[in-house]
């Protein structure tokens, strides 16, 4: 008896201690602080549902514990039947009607929030940006045809309309603070939107298992002033595209110094500094003796590839010793 009681007390204390931690930080259990209207509406729906279900949870579990206590055997023999209870129509009607009302209330809230999650404010003049998912990076095309890789720059407070596509396998675009997930599917165009309400950097992650480096397929949205955004898409993006390609695409498999990793060592491979040879590999992929390289650059233009070659020449490539006279 005493042991049962102490087990019960310990269970309650553990529950209370965990609840405190979960409430103090979000503990990874609740949505992150929303920073875009669509994310806010999602979180509103989330808390309404959590409110109803939490009340139901404590009601049901409380009654369960109370009944276990109230109708315990009290030393009655195992083969003796306890008091018998028969139907109770009013009770059954009540516990059917109440869930119907609760589900209706949740449905009303959710269907009221959905259009505001789905569509940007009608009055907005959105910035149209194409998000292309690749094994294993994100590529962004801005309205002036500039590109960036893995980091998307936007003006704070602007409505951004995203056209989400893929060329190889299915990926999923997800920046939790800026709205829900949307899949990037080859042969299909999906749309989503956000409006970063505060300046800052918002982290995200590809949310669809897409291959060996799925976990490295992170994304970041940087919301900054209109002037900083204009400067970025005006010149900075193009000036750094070679470096972005190296660190966001090549280095994932070949290592930061090209020393090799999942992919082979390429730091001393002369092909990486030859535009023609490299273009063929980037656009078509490559079936090597130790594994296949995906066509990571199948949508890259020649300016981009030249920028990559220039960056690699300067920062990565170490000419192999010639003539076989290595000391």
**Chain residues in the site for ligand CUA (CB under 6 A):** 133, 171, 206, 208-210, 214, 217
Least distance (Å) from ligand CUA to the CB of residue 311? 24
Whose tokens are 């042991």? That residue is: 3
Least distance (Å) from ligand CUA to the CB of residue 207? 7
CA atoms of 230 and 234, how far apart (whole Å): 6
**CB-wise, 277 or 285, nearer to ligand CUA?**
285
* Helix residue ranges per DSSP H, the chain: 2-24, 37-70, 89-118, 226-231, 237-239, 241-245, 251-254, 275-284, 302-315
**CB-wise, 150 or 244, nearer to ligand CUA?**
150
Least distance (Å) from ligand CUA to the CB of residue 138? 8
Least distance (Å) from ligand CUA to the CB of residue 159? 25
**CB-wise, 14 or 209, nearer to ligand CUA?**
209
Would you tell me the crossing angle of helices 275-284 and 302-315 to the nearest 10 degrees? 120
CA atoms of 273 and 278, how far apart (whole Å): 7
Least distance (Å) from ligand CUA to the CB of residue 304? 20
DSSP characters over 222-284: EEE-HHHHHHIIIIIHHHTHHHHHIIIIIHHHH-TTS--SSSPP-TT-GGGG-HHHHHHHHHH
**CB-wise, 183 or 269, nearer to ligand CUA?**
183
Least distance (Å) from ligand CUA to the CB of residue 206? 3
Least distance (Å) from ligand CUA to the CB of residue 175? 14
**CB-wise, 138 or 232, nearer to ligand CUA?**
138
Q: Which of 164, 149, 285 is CA-nearest to residue 217?
A: 149
**CB-wise, 38 or 135, nearer to ligand CUA?**
135
CA atoms of 153 and 133, how far apart (whole Å): 17
Tell me if 210 sits within 8 A of 170, measured CB to CB.
yes
CA atoms of 19 and 51, how far apart (whole Å): 15
Whose tokens are 């989503």? That residue is: 192
**CB-wise, 116 or 163, nearer to ligand CUA?**
163
Least distance (Å) from ligand CUA to the CB of residue 182? 13
**CB-wise, 206 or 316, nearer to ligand CUA?**
206
CA atoms of 61 and 69, how far apart (whole Å): 12
Tell me if 265 sits within 8 A of 259, measured CB to CB.
yes
């Amino acid at each position: 008896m005493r042991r049962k009681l102490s087990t019960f007390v310990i269970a309650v204390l553990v529950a209370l201690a965990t609840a405190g931690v979960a409430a103090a930080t979000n503990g990874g259990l609740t949505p992150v602080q929303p920073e875009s209207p669509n994310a806010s509406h999602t979180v509103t729906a989330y808390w309404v549902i959590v409110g109803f279900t939490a009340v139901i949870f404590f009601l049901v579990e409380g009654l369960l514990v109370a009944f276990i206590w109230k109708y315990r055997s009290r030393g009655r023999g195992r083969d003796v039947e306890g008091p018998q209870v028969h139907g109770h129509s009013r009770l059954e009607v009540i516990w059917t009607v109440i869930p119907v009302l609760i589900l209706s209330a949740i449905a009303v809230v959710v269907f009221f929030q959905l259009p505001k999650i789905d569509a940007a404010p009608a009055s907005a003049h959105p910035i149209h940006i194409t998000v292309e998912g690749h094994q294993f990076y994100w590529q962004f095309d801005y309205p002036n045809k500039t590109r960036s890789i893995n980091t998307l720059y936007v003006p704070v407070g602007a409505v951004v309309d995203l056209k989400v596509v893929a060329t190889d396998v299915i990926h999923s675009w997800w920046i939790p603070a800026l709205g829900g997930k949307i899949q990037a599917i080859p042969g299909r165009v999906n749309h989503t939107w956000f409006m970063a309400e505060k300046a800052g950097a918002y982290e995200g992650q590809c949310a669809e298992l897409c291959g060996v480096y799925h976990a490295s397929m992170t994304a970041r949205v940087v919301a900054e002033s209109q002037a900083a955004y204009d400067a970025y898409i005006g010149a900075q993006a193009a000036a750094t595209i070679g470096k972005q390609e190296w660190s966001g695409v090549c280095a994932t498999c070949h290592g930061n110094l090209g020393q090799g990793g999942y992919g082979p060592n390429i730091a001393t491979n002369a092909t990486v500094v030859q535009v023609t040879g490299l273009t063929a590999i980037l656009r078509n992929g490559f079936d090597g003796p130790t594994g296949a390289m995906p066509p990571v650059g199948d949508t890259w233009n020649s300016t981009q590839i030249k920028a990559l070659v220039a960056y690699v020449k300067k920062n990565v490539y170490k000419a192999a010793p010639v003539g076989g006279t290595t000391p």
